[in-house]
Chains A and B, each alone.
Chain A
């Protein structure tokens, strides 16, 4: 057996100094040679542990073996049996906490770069032109309404259309994709990729209706009169604020607003696109998650001279992926750890001019297992700032629960489901993704979609609740 390369095959990417000048994707992806070389690092375990780490159970050794053999078409087929959105997952899944975490190679060396290979195979297929459209399944005559076209909804749609059910997706915004389109920036996930995946679903026969707000345009109860089942994948779209003095000053955004303006509305191309966005020179982003990294990096691309992340804990507690933190550091994002804003100070016209922070120290571990940040008394200080992005989290959008009688929710506003089936308290209604878990990851939402799809199919067949 050939000697195993200890390190992952490197993926070429745009140099930091160049990429902060544009919104183009950062990594270029593997070439065919790189992909084959990386695929050959996989030792094809008899009892592969990596699959256990994948919420959608991709046959990981299977698709990698076919890459190693140069059979890219075959590899695509294996991938798409379980995952209809590989170009998305290859880019935004936290593989280090999932498949790659379980890779046997990882015990001695770096694990196989499963995510990069997944991305490669998806991009390879896209370059071949039209995707292969599988033969449609015989129609079952059953109709399913999917509310929300984010990762959970798209997965349910893909799984159920393959079984012959008639699928309609209702999306509140004017473009499909949910957080993949309004939230995740172009430089991390080109929107063209999301639209390509949605287009593929439409070619399979999925109907998509945009600008349709379930709860307002029609309620879930009304959908239940036309559809045999309803899946709720409405996400965690309600932004949190800290409710500290001055937070409503001009120049202060929720991350949702900042990213929606830039990503969905393409404000970075103003005035070609109508939607404006503040192009601050000194931008503070509050929070330590992936959304905070996306915001801080967006600020640089919009022309910020200084983009500062303010996080109340230390680097070790940051919930953002390592790769995102590294990219942000390379690009020159400044990190202010153990710091928390307490107030904003504005000028007479209401524009934010200064951020007032307090220093923090780490105390005993809290419910999350991370050490609790405690304010240090009399450590307040002020810094000049002209734009602020509050990226401290989101809760589920309350619109659907509020307009759906009989739908049980938790005190956090999430929908209560049976985890093994995605069934809610209301007959015929299923839910999955952030609306159930609170803000989490794309792949977890897809995993929940897969579970729900399976049980929706069963319900449609048996009618039993």
Chain B
């Protein structure tokens, strides 16, 4: 169970894993996530599901190496297993025919935006996708995203691919050009989701964001992931992870995401040190 069947490097710090998890693959819907733990001493971390194949019983996870657990995961080879994979968790994305939808994926957020985009396309929407990253080498899933989009835009901060600039610039351009947008779904760094929500707010375009707060169990038991939506406390793991971007207190979320920044640094240092010793 949970065997890594395929591992692929998408960009220097981003890896794709195909994992044998038939029960979860049968149930997973766009927008949902799993909680994984990779070693006995390990922490539990939430990872969004990038794709699932119920027939083959395969779950695709795309992981950016940002800390101890994700770096350690990067060392696992095909044929090895992930200790625990639990899910699918969270509420699935709301997918229906809204008309024209703009799908915004930033950085690692391209991974979770893909299955939702695929769903939006299948539901009959006109899909405009904007994906962006700091630089060309951080982009992935370009062909897959293109295949499920009617219009496809790439932005990079440094201009190495697509249009030089931010995803929000392109979103703003579409609005200014008078494109009638019925819904925006944005997944990426918290600051990006905040900016996207600010761009659409004056036009009252329904904007959905997916919040990646710190979690422990991921099943509604601990409240580590609590966020404020329109002043009300919600648990991202069971009430979300998707919420109305115009109601999210992003500043609180960013503060809470930084709660263990010191410990995370220490944990990563210890891990790298031990690794050197072992080699």
Contacts and interface: CB of A to CB of B under 8 A. Distances in A.
Asked whether A and B interact, the reply is yes
Instruction: Give the one of B41, B221, B256 with max A CB within 10 A.
Output: B221
A213 B27 CA distance: 12
Helix, strand, loop or mixed for chain B's interface?
mixed
Interface residues of B, number: 41
A256 B86 CA distance: 19
A237 interface: yes
Instruction: Give the one of B68, B223, B226 with max A CB within 10 A.
Output: B223
Contacts of B259: 250-251
B238 interface: yes
Interface in B222-248: 222-224, 226-228, 233, 238
B220 A237 contact: yes
Contacts of B258: 250, 349
Instruction: Give the one of A174, A272, A397 with max B CB within 10 A.
Output: A174
A216 B267 contact: no
Nearest to B259: A250
B174 to A, nearest CB: 34
A213 B255 contact: no
Contacts of B69: 274
Given A250-B259, A273-B41, A350-B256, A213 B87 contact: yes
B256 A257 contact: no
A212 B264 contact: no
A267 B20 CA distance: 30
Interface string A399-431: 100000000000000000000000000000000
Interface stretch (A60-68, A191-199, A258-266): A258-266
Helix, strand, loop or mixed for chain A's interface?
loop
A398 interface: yes
Contacts of B217: 172-173, 260
A213 B224 contact: no
Nearest to B34: A211
Given A213-B89, A216-B89, A241 B37 contact: no
Interface string A234-275: 000111010100011011011011001100011000111111
Given A248-B256, A274-B42, A217 B27 contact: yes
Nearest to B219: A172
Contacts of A239: 221-223
Interface in A143-190: 172-174, 182
A267 B106 CA distance: 32
Pairs A-B, 3 closest by C-beta atoms? A350-B255, A276-B263, A257-B222
Given A173-B86, A182-B221, A238-B220, 4 more contacts: A213-B86, A250-B255, A265-B43, A274-B42
